[in-house]
Amino acid sequence: MLQNTGKLGGCTIFITGASRGIGKAIALKAARDGANVVIAAKTADPHPKLPGTIYTAAAEIEAAGGKALPCIVDVRDEKQINQAVEQAVEKFGGIDILVNNASAINLTGTLETPMKKVDLMLGINLRGTYLTKNPHILNLSPPLNLNPSWFKNHTAYTMAKYGMSMCVLGMAEEFKGSIAVNALWPKTAIQTAAMDMLGGSEIGKQCRKVEIVADAAYAILKKPTSFTGQFVIDEDILKKEGVKEFDVYAVEPGHPLLPDFFLDQEPEDLAKQMEEHGATPAFKRILSPDIVKTTEAVYRFDLSGEHAGVWYIDLKNDAGSAGSGDPPTKADVIMTLDSADFIKMFGGRLKPTMAFMSGKLKIKGDMGLAIKLEKMMAMMKSKL
């Protein structure tokens, strides 16, 4: 792993989405140098399923050797951003580095993406990036790969992420000589709750930990402002920094790794590789002609929380199907629940009936079909 050098000691770093995940990992890396960290995120109250608030993150940063300023910030709200900046200036005397980490993901096609979801993704990914301009800027966004394959299945999400990347191109030229503006993107999938949604619980084996992104961000942020306009891949810059052992970043050392989105590998190849190593999305494991024949129902899942969105399972038409977005035909049952409970439910750790009785799950439609889904899930779990 990349060792701390103290280069960021005394610097003030404003990080969006720093209450958990990659954002918090970057914050802790900087804190070990003695940096001041502004935690700009929305989570002020403990989430019943997801770890971390701006205040728990602040405590960890202080324990690591840094100084912390937790600020409640929705990056789409210019007033909240300005207030956080003013607080940072008042407490630390200014801001040296901005890390745009807050992001939203919704991998659906154009026709299946509601305008509210498009606005959420563009608002967080693009608008949030542009409003928060400061001396040294690092966007967590990909290189601009114009292969149509990266647009056909989730145009809105790709537009949102590439908007952040285009900000890097434009702002790097606009502020050349005074402010460094760069982008950072992982070479492989990074283990987060979102990856569980996309690949099931087994996806973790194909991922690296958030620490590799934090180390790569550290390598960029300690460079002079002449290093600007670069689209950096985490592994590449760490190799240049002399890092030779990368198994330390792996969730399961030695296991094949899944490349991240927007790089050279085709999306279909990524999905195939994911499934070859046992990472089929959990809710897809119940698909089979026999189960479609005995169930004959379409289920829709309206998710709230950290990974809000719509998912479906069609156990009624043809050989069955499952995925994100609205179902291909009208749903017979609509289930409303938190995304964390959705992951638990299809990971076999939460029964739908128990979730319903405890108030975690709301069901609209035939309750008998909901019970039938639970039986199908139990049957498939016994076969795994």
Q: Which residue has the higher pLDDT, 97 or 291?
A: 97
Domain final residue, candidates 220, 249, 278: 249
Query: How many separate domains does the chain show?
Result: 2
- Mark whether 162 and 46 lie in a shared domain: yes
Task: Report pTM.
Answer: 0.68
The one catalytic residue in 157, 162, 299, 312 is 157
Residue 9 has pLDDT above 80, yes or no: yes
Q: Is residue 183 part of a domain?
A: yes
For residue 205, tell me if it sits in a domain. Answer: yes
Do 318 and 367 sit in the same domain of this protein? yes
Q: How many CA atoms lie within 13 A of 244 on its CB side?
A: 1
Task: Give me the mean pLDDT over the 324-330 stretch.
Answer: 81
* Residue 116 placed within a domain: yes
Best-predicted range by mean pLDDT among 20-34, 284-298, 343-357?
20-34
Pair (70, 104) in one structural domain? yes
Task: Identify whether residues 244 and 327 lie together within a single domain.
Answer: no
Say which CATH number the domain at 57 has: 3.40.50.720
Range of the domain at 112: 12-249
pLDDT at 212 over 90: yes
Q: With respect to residue 112, please indicate whether it lies within any of the assigned structural domains.
A: yes
Does 329 lie in the same domain as 224? no
Classify residue 134: in a domain, yes or no.
Answer: yes
What CATH number has the domain bearing residue 368? 3.30.1050.10
Last residue of a domain, one of 218, 249, 280: 249
Note whether 238 and 298 are same-domain residues: no
Q: Any catalytic annotation for residue 157?
A: yes
Whether pLDDT at 284 is above 60: no
How confident is the model at residue 44, as a pLDDT? 87
What rounded mean pLDDT belongs to the chain? Answer: 81
| Selected residue with higher pLDDT from 25 and 326 | 25
Task: For residue range 102-132, list pLDDT tens digits in order.
Answer: 654 444 444 444 545 445 444 545 445 544 4
- Do 197 and 275 share a domain, yes or no? no
* Tens-digit pLDDT profile for residues 58-96: 999 999 999 999 999 887 777 888 888 889 889 998 888
112-142 per-residue burial string, b: 16 or more CB within 10 A, e: under 16: bbeeebbebbbbbbbbbbebbbbbbbbbbbb
> In the predicted model, what is the mean pLDDT of residues 177-201?
79
The pLDDT score that the predictor gives to residue 110 is 40
For 19-145, where are the alpha helices, taking DSSP H only?
21-31, 54-64, 78-92, 115-122, 128-131
Q: Residue 271: its pLDDT value, please?
A: 55
Give percent of the chain with pLDDT exceeding 90: 33
